[in-house]
Structure 1
Amino acid sequence: MHKRDTSDIFRQRLLALIERSGLSRSQFASRAGLDRSTLSQLLSDVNVRLPRTETIARIAARHTVSIDWLLGLSQQDQVAADIVSQMAIEPDAGSPADERLLSWHEEARGFKVRYVPATLPDQVKTEAVIAHETGRLDETAAKAWAGIARARIIHAKRTEHEIEVCSPLQGLEGFARGEGIWRGLAAGERLAQLEQAARLVDDLYPAYRWFLFDNRERFSVPYTVFGPLRAALYVGDMYFVFTSTEHIRELSRHFDNNLIRNARIQPNEAADYIRALMPEVR
């Protein structure tokens, strides 16, 4: 980011802070340890100079915002990244999906979403697979969850929204054979899942693109990057959510350069690969 860009963003966000505080400019300057003339200079359109680091830190601390946000390095003004509960469905919940997660997808409309799933991608799962995977869901809740997941990519196809998925070949192969967590899921249900996944991958291409990498060559924890806005790492019972521009860029680079660039199966090959696994279902 150029110095002019940084100073412009700082000025805009400083103005937003002043307005949000309800203070006069003189009062705001006093609380930030500035004199009125210095504040006026910082707010001037022709100014490209940033205040000293300690001044920026004092403004951030007094108004409970992050330094990254003031300098345009983050889209969120909170001091720290959010840590939120995992998307879950409770028996008495009004919605089968975490509203926070849905809002992140909505915010990312028009941007590319990069997604490394923990198992199979949510968007292609059948109701039976969701119910088996989570255990506690009844059939109605599982069906609702699956419907919401698929609605995301149908919506994406209509709005030129892109979703790229990257996951290990071994995950699909293990699913077809009923290994690991899939042990106990009936062969008929696994076959139905593979058929549905292949059909959806075909129907939704190119808005929805599923890459497959070899887990012996590459590794990744589950995460989602919601365009340039935020990235969420899945850690079992919660998400760690990052809004720092640098964190988002690093995870995007990992996805693009480490996973996709080394993918063994490309999106236009994914449906055929899935169908080729069907004879392994026993």
Structure 2
Amino acid sequence: MNTVISSTMADGFRARLHALIDRSDMNQASFARMAGVDRSTLSQLLSAEGPRMPRADTLVALATSCRVSIDWLLGLTPREEIGLEIIDSMLQIQSHTRSPIDERFVGWLREAEGYRVRTVPESFPDFLKTEDVLKFEYQGSSFNTVGSSVEAMAARLAVMRRPDSELEVCASIQAITTMAKAEGKWAGLSKTARCNQLAYLIELYRELYPSLRIYFYTLVETYSNPFTVFGPKRVALFLGTSYLVLNGVDHIRLFSKRFDDLIKLAVVQPHQIEETLKDILSEIE
């Protein structure tokens, strides 16, 4: 299943995909067979009804069959040429389990201990969420059947409490306000759960700052797909059902710069987060 994400990146991807099909002189059915992509998947990716991005395996199939770079397909570079070393040694595809317990992600965090980790989450980091909010968000997933989920979140918090830990989070302020107002995917989340979540987040941030630094940008001005830079080790780009993992130095620098650009656009700086969260909480109490 494809991931619904920002129209900016998805529109750019769709335009590039259209260009590849036009260049091939094939109809969509023939192009799908050539690329090894399901025809219905290709139709969904080409549709303008709702921004969609491909799964990581589809992305690699398109790049390999059309001899273009994944970076170009994603709009990360104007250079179209493929770099075989990216597919062979600098890029990996890792599946994502829809659960706050993701052993791969936790493993990458352990490998990056002592380095600065920078993340742009899909909403806000799971380890900052209360048990009630986690259960609501992951209802129907393995969270409800795995008893160690809360313990896993506690373990990640323990890592953050170490003196050498450093985590920067850049999230949209709408990720917090939609939860606070029970809008979008949070519709049906009780007022008590929302208030408790904000209070818990305020308390944790007060404890962990400045080892934990949060920035809020606004979707009115910019958008970013979820990704995490694990120090100098790797970048994991979240594509919904899988991670696109980039190990090359140039990619790590590229996404570090992207994070720096998001920080420059932030409307709430780390020292303002606690007061901002208090203001949001006061609006719903």
The answer to whether TM tops 0.5 is: yes
Change (3 A) 1:237 1:230: same
Equivalent position of 1:11 in the other structure = none
Equivalent position of 1:106 in the other structure = 110
Does residue 238 in structure 1 map to residue 242 in structure 2?
Answer: yes
Change (3 A) 1:144 1:202: farther
Q: CA deviation at 1:153?
A: 3.9
Change (3 A) 1:226 1:138: closer
Determine if contact 1:117/1:167 at 8 Å carries over to the other structure.
yes
Instruction: Give the alignment partner of residue 218 of structure 2, picking from 214, 217, 222.
Output: 214
Equivalent position of 2:263 in the other structure = 260
Does residue 151 in structure 1 map to residue 163 in structure 2?
Answer: no
Secondary structure of the equivalent of 1:158? coil
Matched residue pairs, number?
200
Q: CA deviation at 1:138?
A: 7.4
Q: Larger Rg: 1 or 2?
A: 1
Does residue 278 in structure 1 map to residue 262 in structure 2?
Answer: no
Does residue 97 in structure 1 map to residue 101 in structure 2?
Answer: yes
Between the aligned partners of 2:273 and 2:147, the Cα distance in structure 1 is: 25
Q: CA deviation at 1:236?
A: 0.8
Instruction: Give the alignment partner of residue 167 of structure 2, picking from 163, 166, 171.
Output: 163
Between the aligned partners of 1:183 and 1:142, the Cα distance in structure 2 is: 24
- Segments of structure 1 that go 5 or more residues without pairing to the other structure are 1-75, 90-95
* Amino acid in structure 1 at the alignment position of 2:96: Q
Equivalent position of 1:179 in the other structure = 183
Instruction: Give the alignment partner of residue 139 of structure 2, picking from 118, 135, 139.
Output: 135
Determine if contact 2:101/2:152 at 8 Å carries over to the other structure.
yes
Q: Map of 1:16-31 to 2, 5 A cutoff? A: none
Q: CA deviation at 1:184?
A: 0.5
Which portions of structure 1, spanning 4 or more consecutive aligned residues, are displaced by more than 3 angstroms? 137-144
Does residue 188 in structure 1 map to residue 180 in structure 2?
Answer: no
Secondary structure of the equivalent of 1:82? strand
Determine if contact 1:127/1:139 at 8 Å carries over to the other structure.
no
Between the aligned partners of 1:146 and 1:126, the Cα distance in structure 2 is: 9
Determine if contact 1:232/1:240 at 8 Å carries over to the other structure.
yes
Does residue 79 in structure 1 map to residue 92 in structure 2?
Answer: no
Secondary structure of the equivalent of 2:219? coil
Q: CA deviation at 1:227?
A: 0.2
Between the aligned partners of 2:202 and 2:147, the Cα distance in structure 1 is: 19
Between the aligned partners of 1:216 and 1:142, the Cα distance in structure 2 is: 38
Q: Map of 1:17-56 to 2, 5 A cutoff? A: none
Between the aligned partners of 2:223 and 2:112, the Cα distance in structure 1 is: 26
Determine if contact 1:125/1:146 at 8 Å carries over to the other structure.
no
Equivalent position of 1:42 in the other structure = none
Between the aligned partners of 1:214 and 1:221, the Cα distance in structure 2 is: 14
Name the TM-score, length of structure 2 as normaliser.
0.65
Deviations 1:100-157 (A, max 9, x none): 2111001101100001110121121011111111112477657743442343243233
Name the TM-score, length of structure 1 as normaliser.
0.66
Deviations 1:24-68 (A, max 9, x none): xxxxxxxxxxxxxxxxxxxxxxxxxxxxxxxxxxxxxxxxxxxxx
**Structure 1 vs Structure 2 CA RMSD:** 2.3
Determine if contact 2:98/2:141 at 8 Å carries over to the other structure.
no
* Amino acid in structure 2 at the alignment position of 1:82: Q
* Amino acid in structure 1 at the alignment position of 2:149: W
